[in-house]
């Protein structure tokens, strides 16, 4: 059997790999990942070459067999969350949506692998879905499998992300092991990072424009962390807008919305955040797959007449600038918008590492006590 110095993790429903970034920063070795979408899986493989990626429907995976192939006797952590489209408070709430049953596949993986710890993440509305039945069912199933659980709704901006993004987090641990805590928030409202804190070093773009050089040196620790010595700027591009769109964008004030436009430029039907300009001095609202489409949500650059670039979206999610995305621009934006911010993986995994270290400390203490007893017997 393989023995690694780092604790091991398996990520399910991995997407582009945001959660895995955080797990690796915290100290985990992600040995296996699963993602059904090809472009997402290719992005994961580009950035996590040492992790085995299974690009397939999770229903087709024999996890017991995969454990034999990997040659591991046990795994420290299983993490991930089913696709959120079926659960989201924004999207469909159709109880018959097959994606709503994918958490049973997550449970199957836990049952077959029996990791020491688990992380289950999903949209903020997960705990209240279907009158709370989805959450109750999941926690009950974890209990039957031999895991205690703890849950909370975490806000990403409280942990240093320049974006307002809430996720339901459930951590679990085998009942015979030290419990896993949930992280305490690290940033208060006064010191939260703003949108401009994340992107002020990126050059100006006009319509149908692309830039490959940074505007300046990193302006703060957040930019320094994500650039990490990166010299070439990638994925910083804008769409090609027509004359009407450019006029619309030019008339939206800072923090403004479609209601600030003259009647002649407003569509007959629209959402409140259609053609809405971002506030530079506040955390960005939740990034979605449509952050590059001005008509879809509040995603218009605070000063420039365009939507956010792919790199700006990645910055707001906490992806390092060196991270490579595979596929079309639409696919890349989807991968970014659907991702779990790496900071969530990092702060949660660090708490689990503390619990794992308690196990190792106990083992060492037990071994030392046994050695002393044996020594006393022979003397």
Partnered with residue 369 across adjacent β-strands are none
**CB of 76 closer than 8 Å to CB of 173:** no
Q: In the sheet that 147-155 helps form, which strands lie side by side, from edge to edge?
A: 52-54, 29-34, 8-12, 77-80, 117-123, 166-174, 147-155
Backbone angles phi, psi at 176, to 5 degrees: -90, 0
Partnered with residue 152 across adjacent β-strands are 169
Strands (E), 125-263: 147-155, 166-174
Active site residue 212: no
Neighbours of 71 (CB within 10 A): 9
Report the alpha-carbon angle 6-10-13, nearest 5: 145
Per-residue DSSP letter, 210: B
Q: How many CA atoms lie within 13 A of 256 on its CB side?
A: 14
Looking at 59, 84, 212, 216, which residue is catalytic?
Answer: 84
Q: How many CA atoms lie within 13 A of 44 on its CB side?
A: 29
Distance between CA 10 and CA 23 in Å, rounded? 10
Distance between CA 332 and CA 324 in Å, rounded? 9
Distance between CA 198 and CA 308 in Å, rounded? 12
Element of type H or E holding 376: helix 342-378
Distance between CA 260 and CA 279 in Å, rounded? 15
Q: How many CA atoms lie within 13 A of 191 on its CB side?
A: 8
Partnered with residue 30 across adjacent β-strands are 9
Per-residue DSSP letter, 48: -
Six token digits for residue 220: 């703060």
Which residues form the catalytic set? 84
């Amino acid at each position: 059997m393989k023995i690694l110095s780092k604790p091991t993790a398996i990520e399910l429903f991995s997407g582009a790999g945001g959660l895995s970034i955080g797990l690796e920063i915290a100290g985990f070795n992600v040995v296996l990942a699963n993602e059904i979408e090809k472009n997402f899986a290719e992005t994961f493989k580009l950035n996590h070459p040492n992790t085995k990626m299974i690009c397939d429907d999770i229903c087709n995976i024999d996890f017991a067999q995969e454990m034999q192939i990997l040659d591991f006797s046990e795994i420290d952590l299983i993490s991930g969350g089913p696709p959120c489209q079926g659960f989201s408070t924004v999207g469909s709430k159709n109880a018959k949506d097959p994606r709503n049953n994918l958490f049973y596949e997550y449970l199957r993986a836990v049952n077959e692998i029996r990791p020491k710890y688990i992380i289950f993440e999903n949209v903020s509305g997960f705990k209240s879905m279907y009158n709370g039945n989805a959450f109750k069912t999941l926690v009950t199933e974890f209990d039957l499998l031999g895991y205690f659980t703890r849950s909370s709704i975490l806000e990403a901006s409280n942990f240093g992300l320049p974006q307002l993004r809430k996720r339901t987090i459930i951590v679990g641990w085998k009942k015979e092991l030290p419990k896993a805590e949930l992280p305490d928030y690290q940033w208060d409202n006064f010191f939260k990072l703003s949108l401009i804190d994340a992107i002020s070093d990126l050059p100006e773009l006009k319509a149908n424009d692309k830039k490959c050089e940074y505007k300046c040196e990193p302006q703060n620790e957040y930019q320094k962390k994500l650039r990490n010595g990166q010299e070439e700027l990638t994925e910083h591009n804008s769409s090609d807008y027509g004359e009407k769109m450019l006029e619309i964008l030019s008339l939206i004030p800072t923090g403004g919305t479609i209601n600030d436009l003259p009647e002649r430029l407003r569509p007959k039907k629209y959402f409140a955040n259609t053609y809405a300009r971002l506030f530079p001095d506040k955390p960005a609202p939740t990034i979605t797959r449509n952050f590059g489409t001005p008509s879809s949500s509040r995603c218009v650059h605070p000063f420039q007449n365009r939507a956010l670039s792919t790199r700006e979206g990645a910055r707001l999610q906490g992806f390092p600038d060196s991270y490579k995305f595979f596929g079309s621009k639409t696919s890349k934006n989807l991968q970014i918008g659907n991702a779990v911010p790496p900071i969530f993986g990092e702060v949660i995994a660090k708490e689990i590492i503390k619990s794992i270290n308690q196990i190792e400390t106990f083992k060492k203490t037990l071994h030392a006590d046994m050695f002393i007893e044996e020594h006393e017997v022979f003397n």
